[in-house]
Amino acid sequence: MDTRLRYQEIIKTILREHANFRNTIPDGYQSQLLFDDERGGYLVLDIGWNENKYLHATPIHINLIGDKIWIQYDDTEEGVATDLLAAGVPKEDIVLGFRHPRIREYTEFGTGFSDKDEGNFAESAAVESVSATR
């Protein structure tokens, strides 16, 4: 199976599990799933009323960009990255998109840059830091 198709299925399975769990919490909110395979967008959306409080939130937002899984937002206890690793996704194929690009290289996960991009980013960061000291 093609990597992209495999990752689509893994992401959907994980998000279904999270939405099903969230729907067991008696808080008045309903978790909905939004999948867009064509554009690589995957969301868990919490929506509803709890007494006088309305909630419309996205606790999990994932994008599939190329053959990398970008976690754009993760408001879960253990972290979606943990679920992806348990499903067999290699660390280098998971990008913590919510982390600043300069921080990503110090995580155990992918940076989202190709090798060429990484070199360009490092050069531009060096130029920027030199400019900032002037």
Digitized pLDDT (tens) for each residue of the chain, 134 residues in all: 799 999 999 999 999 999 999 999 999 999 999 999 999 999 999 999 999 999 999 999 999 999 999 999 999 999 999 999 999 999 999 999 999 999 999 999 999 876 544 444 444 444 444 445 44
Strand blocks (E) in the chain: 29-36, 41-50, 53-65, 68-74, 94-96
Instruction: State whether residue 17 is helix, strand or coil.
Output: helix
- Domains of the chain are 3-132 (3.30.310.110)
pLDDT at site 115: 53
